[in-house]
Amino acid sequence: MTAPFTADRRKPLPNGFLAQVQALVGDRLHLGESIRLQHGSSETHFDPVLPDAVVFARSTEEVAELVKLCVAAEVPIVAFGAGTSLEGNVTPVRGGISLDLSEMDAILEINAEDFDCTVQAGVRREQLNEHLRDQGLFFPIDPGANATIGGMASTRASGTNAVRYGTMREAVLSLRVVMPDGRIVRTARRARKSAAGYDLTRLIIGAEGTLGIVTEITLRLHGIPEAISAAVCPFDTLKGAVDTVVQAIQLGVPIARIEILDDMQMKACNAYSKLDYAEQTTLLFEFHGSERSVAEQVETLSALSSANGGGEFRWSNLPEERSRLWKARHMAYYAALGLRPGSIGWTTDVCVPISRLAECIGETKADLEGASMPATIVGHVGDGNFHVVFAIDPASPHEMAEVEAINHRLVARALAMDGTCTGEHGIGLGKRDALVDELGDAVDLMRTIKRALDPKNLFNPDKIFVLE
Amino acid sequence: MTAPFTADRRKPLPNGFLAQVQALVGDRLHLGESIRLQHGSSETHFDPVLPDAVVFARSTEEVAELVKLCVAAEVPIVAFGAGTSLEGNVTPVRGGISLDLSEMDAILEINAEDFDCTVQAGVRREQLNEHLRDQGLFFPIDPGANATIGGMASTRASGTNAVRYGTMREAVLSLRVVMPDGRIVRTARRARKSAAGYDLTRLIIGAEGTLGIVTEITLRLHGIPEAISAAVCPFDTLKGAVDTVVQAIQLGVPIARIEILDDMQMKACNAYSKLDYAEQTTLLFEFHGSERSVAEQVETLSALSSANGGGEFRWSNLPEERSRLWKARHMAYYAALGLRPGSIGWTTDVCVPISRLAECIGETKADLEGASMPATIVGHVGDGNFHVVFAIDPASPHEMAEVEAINHRLVARALAMDGTCTGEHGIGLGKRDALVDELGDAVDLMRTIKRALDPKNLFNPDKIFVLE
């Protein structure tokens, strides 16, 4: 598998450091190999790298004290949420402390009238939505995994709802952050907008824990829509599917979700979940709004789909039937791996201007035809963002190299279309070279900011870029 | 008027510097007093401070060369657009060059299918919308003034449409920026979302030219809606008006604009434009969508207004009649100054969570009752953002001090409600102390970033905070 680090950069912990940490957190300091392995492993293809210790934090103040100890002893510290990131974003490549925030899972405040709430970083997406349901509110960002809100902020997560509700960039009003000097700052107030100074909130969102450790997040919420409908429609051609989406957006239809699944993915879903979808490029839709608005949206999309070579447009507003229609999407990742028992996943993502999406997916599918392993495509088509999931043999260095080459070509293709090397997974370890290809000198500015805020390079070192 | 600078910080230009600049830009270097006064003046109450010279730039590359000359000679450089900012944001308090970007007014690229365009920094909002109209597209951010897009990005502008379409934070996809070392960087690609590294785009938006000079902007656009309606409704009470808005948002009604004008403002508008509005707290609405959706929105808001003590709900979908209904809003600033011939304006803004808005405006109105000068309130009520416009006697230091004290209490009130000291005007010179009250230690982080990126403190010095 990919060797993500330079082993000689790992330094032994200074004498007495662990005793100091233990004095601070007691039995929430863990040194056992299995828990360290769990915090050093990735859900995808990255080699595990064990932290020296795992600490479960209980409060922002405790995190700040721990950071001060780490800085004094020059020990790296990597914040860890649910461990669901996909580009090795939390692998502690220089060892040190893996700081697990999952026990900081309190929902601190809900302001229903203001459509906002404040939560600790370890709160999970599904937990939050269950808690909000009774108040008629929901938090729309849905990256698939039941990630922590802190992790989602740190990777600038988005997912299926982004076409209507935006990404974590738009969803976060304010953060409480422990900085590399141990100071606790709040980046903004609870107002829905502000022109007060530099946008520290957005600087920390997507910084993957390299500039600060997010401990509390104030989020924008939305009212649960009066009506929800789902629909599914197969298409003769990729272009027909993408054109349907472009036209819908041009008409200003406020679709909540539009997902594209390619023929391979539909085949995988049928096999995995014993379904009978047409094994063609397929669009899945979800519509939110008033009864009248949702009915109008369904009508418009049904007509557009039909005009663009769509097959049967199946839709429903009944919760159970909606789930059935979307089942292919929910199971997509495991269904893809199911194409090859024993495989592990390598999943990558790019995002391009929507006018180039059909071309980008088309060329990528052509490239995948020669691949040794099964690969499927799933995308958030309203944003121009799509994923390729490779089911690779974990024992084969040859396959790793092959996927690396395909991924490199995919990123180059997206950049040539003025797209980005990652729409939502982040840079982590896997896309560091791609970031330089994408932004050139701007990466130096990132390095300058990192050096200014974390001069000892202790906060999640070697992620996004290597400093020295 | 307010003395915004420390005079002894102004250094004479080094010998030979102006000759170098002239070699670069020829007769686009201006030293005449009237043009320097124009670039050193503010639309509001700030004392003018003249730059040593005004330069009209024609290209990003030229800006980069000029920046290199300034850095070598340690001459301050302040980017200037339309000069419509309200907190002294472009006053060159340490002299140096006022860099006028208004001649960089080319619309470089429109990608209709992607709903984006790229423009030079000097393009004005109205110019852009006129250009886009034929393609069925529009750029929604509307701060009132016909500002430049570069200036709007630099102050994180928003305005009447923000409740539905967001602010410049959401509207900008990517920036081309000249950094203080003379490097030209592009902060992002044209994809609608990205998780690629630090969000440099958002860092530069709202930095008021202190970290980089924006020369090109890639913007998200929207389709001109199929139907537009406007409406106006007076209310017995402030609370009734605000409750109407909160309930509409709770119901998920996608209102495009909701403005609140207080009784004083309505009185001013009637007098200024010979109108016959009820002189009560009034809401102005604009609805965008399909014919059916707009009709539904009008119906919902009419019912909600009536249930909350609203008077006659007048609405129209005819362009001319819509303009008439909104006339009070478009003339608000000049109407407020018209309450007192010969006065100049001091306009401030705060933004609070919407649940506190009625209380915040109510307490502010009570505070204004004792004021020596006329003052009106106008607000973007869907965002919790409102302005107070004071019509002050320019010759009276006493009135300046009085408004300063009222403004200080207003900011303290907004902060106590977890709001921000500015929703859209920015910090400039006028809100530097307020920023510290609002964010405390976080302002130190801003200073750290500024020092790292602009170590000689030459880019719009003394704005947002004083560095040393």
The secondary structure of residue B246, as a DSSP letter, is: H
Rg (CA), chain B: 22
**DSSP letters spanning A427-467:** -TTTTHHHHHHHHTTHHHHHHHHHHHH-TT--BSTTSSS--
Angle of helix B60-73 relative to helix B17-25, nearest 10 degrees?
170
- Closest CA of chain B from A267, distance in Å: 29
Closest CB to A197 among B252, B385, B443: B443
* pLDDT for A7: 53
Chain Cα centroid distance, residue B182: 27
In this structure, chain B runs to a length of: 468
Average pLDDT, rounded, for chain B: 95
B211 C-beta neighbours (distance < 10 Å), count: 26
**How far is Cα B448 from Cα B78, in angstroms, rounded to an integer?**
20
Do A427 and B113 lie within an 8 Å CB cutoff? no
CB contacts under 8 A, B 191-220 vs A, are 191-200, 202-203, 205-207, 211
Q: Is the ipTM of this complex over 0.90?
A: yes
**Residues of B with Cβ-Cβ distance to A116 under 8 angstroms:** 353
Query: Does A436 lie in the same domain as A417?
Result: no
B324 C-beta neighbours (distance < 10 Å), count: 15
H or E segment at A246?
helix A238-250
CATH number, domain containing residue A84: 3.30.43.10
Chain B residue at shortest CA distance from A445: B453
Do A423 and B200 lie within an 8 Å CB cutoff? no
pLDDT digits (tens, 9 = 90+) for A249-305: 878 899 999 999 999 999 999 999 898 899 999 999 999 998 988 999 999 999 999
Chain A residue at shortest CA distance from B178: A442
* pLDDT for B325: 84
- Two structure tokens written together for B224: 């001109």
A–B CB contacts, 8 A cutoff, strictly below: 293
Assigned domain for A273 exists: yes
Is the confidence at residue A1, as pLDDT, over 50? no
Is the confidence at residue B326, as pLDDT, over 90? no
Domain closes at, from A192, A223, A254 = A223
Assigned domain for A2 exists: no
Query: Does B86 lie in the same domain as B114?
Result: no
pLDDT digits (tens, 9 = 90+) for A81-122: 999 999 999 999 999 999 999 999 999 999 999 999 999 999
Query: Does B347 lie in the same domain as B266?
Result: yes
Taking the Cβ of residue A89 and every Cβ of chain B, the question of whether any pair is shorter than 8 Å is answered with: no
In this structure, chain A runs to a length of: 468
Q: Are B398 and B127 spatial neighbours (Cβ–Cβ below 8 Å)?
A: no
pLDDT digits (tens, 9 = 90+) for A416-461: 999 999 999 999 999 999 999 999 999 999 999 999 999 999 999 9
| Range(s) of the domain holding residue A243 | 226-428
Taking the Cβ of residue A415 and every Cβ of chain B, the question of whether any pair is shorter than 8 Å is answered with: yes
Taking the Cβ of residue B303 and every Cβ of chain A, the question of whether any pair is shorter than 8 Å is answered with: no
Q: Are A108 and A165 spatial neighbours (Cβ–Cβ below 8 Å)?
A: no
Taking the Cβ of residue B441 and every Cβ of chain A, the question of whether any pair is shorter than 8 Å is answered with: yes
Based on DSSP, count helices (H) and strands (E) in chain A, helices before strands.
18, 18
Residue B327: band (very low, low, confident or very high) from pLDDT cuts 50, 70, 90: confident
User: How many domains, in total, are found in chain A?
Assistant: 4
Domain closes at, from A195, A223, A251 = A223
Do A191 and B440 lie within an 8 Å CB cutoff? no
**Residues of A with Cβ-Cβ distance to B443 under 8 angstroms:** 197
Taking the Cβ of residue B416 and every Cβ of chain A, the question of whether any pair is shorter than 8 Å is answered with: no
Query: Does A405 lie in the same domain as A457?
Result: no
Assigned domain for A5 exists: no
Query: Does B383 lie in the same domain as B253?
Result: yes
Query: Does B117 lie in the same domain as B59?
Result: no
* pLDDT for B44: 86
Query: Does B199 lie in the same domain as B126?
Result: yes
Q: Which of A330, A239, A260, A304 is nearest to A313 (CA)?
A: A304
- Closest CA of chain B from A414, distance in Å: 9
Query: Does B191 lie in the same domain as B131?
Result: yes
Task: Give the strand pairing for B227-234 and B314-316.
Answer: antiparallel
- Two structure tokens written together for B66: 């000029």
**Residues of A with Cβ-Cβ distance to B446 under 8 angstroms:** 197-198, 200
Average pLDDT, rounded, for chain A: 95
Taking the Cβ of residue A187 and every Cβ of chain B, the question of whether any pair is shorter than 8 Å is answered with: yes
**How far is Cα B431 from Cα A40, in angstroms, rounded to an integer?**
46
Query: Does A444 lie in the same domain as A382?
Result: no
**Residue pointed to by tokens 């040859």:** A398
Do B189 and A383 lie within an 8 Å CB cutoff? no
**Residue pointed to by tokens 């789930």:** A323
Range in B5-9, B198-202, B357-361 with the lowest mean pLDDT:
B5-9
CB contacts under 8 A, A 156-175 vs B, are 156-158, 162, 166-167, 169-170
The secondary structure of residue B14, as a DSSP letter, is: P
Taking the Cβ of residue B188 and every Cβ of chain A, the question of whether any pair is shorter than 8 Å is answered with: yes
Taking the Cβ of residue A383 and every Cβ of chain B, the question of whether any pair is shorter than 8 Å is answered with: yes
- Closest CA of chain B from A212, distance in Å: 11
**How far is Cα B384 from Cα A138, in angstroms, rounded to an integer?**
21
Residue B3: band (very low, low, confident or very high) from pLDDT cuts 50, 70, 90: very low
Amino acid present at B410: L
CATH number, domain containing residue B365: 3.40.462.10
* pLDDT for A3: 45
**DSSP letters spanning A80-131:** ESSS--SSSTT--TT-SEEEE-TT---EEEEEGGGTEEEEETT-BHHHHHHH
Q: Are A221 and A291 spatial neighbours (Cβ–Cβ below 8 Å)?
A: no
**Residues of A with Cβ-Cβ distance to B387 under 8 angstroms:** none
**How far is Cα A281 from Cα A336, in angstroms, rounded to an integer?**
15
Assigned domain for B301 exists: yes
Residue B328: band (very low, low, confident or very high) from pLDDT cuts 50, 70, 90: confident
Taking the Cβ of residue A297 and every Cβ of chain B, the question of whether any pair is shorter than 8 Å is answered with: no
Query: Does B165 lie in the same domain as B52?
Result: no
Assigned domain for B155 exists: yes
Taking the Cβ of residue A353 and every Cβ of chain B, the question of whether any pair is shorter than 8 Å is answered with: yes
Closest CB to B384 among A191, A202, A246: A191
Assigned domain for B436 exists: no
Closest CB to A191 among B189, B419, B434: B419
**How far is Cα B285 from Cα B233, in angstroms, rounded to an integer?**
9
Query: Does B245 lie in the same domain as B179?
Result: no
Assigned domain for B445 exists: no
**Residues of A with Cβ-Cβ distance to B465 under 8 angstroms:** 197
Print the SS3 string covering B50-82: CCCEEEECCCHHHHHHHHHHHHHHCCCEEEECC
**Residue pointed to by tokens 């290597």:** A466
CATH number, domain containing residue B172: 3.30.465.10
Assigned domain for B451 exists: no
Query: Does A168 lie in the same domain as A52?
Result: no
Percent of chain A with pLDDT over 90: 90
Q: How many CA atoms lie within 13 A of B465 on its CB side?
A: 24
Work out whether the CA dihedral A88, A43, A150, A93 comes out positive or negative: negative
**How far is Cα B115 from Cα B121, in angstroms, rounded to an integer?**
19
Is the confidence at residue A396, as pLDDT, over 70? yes
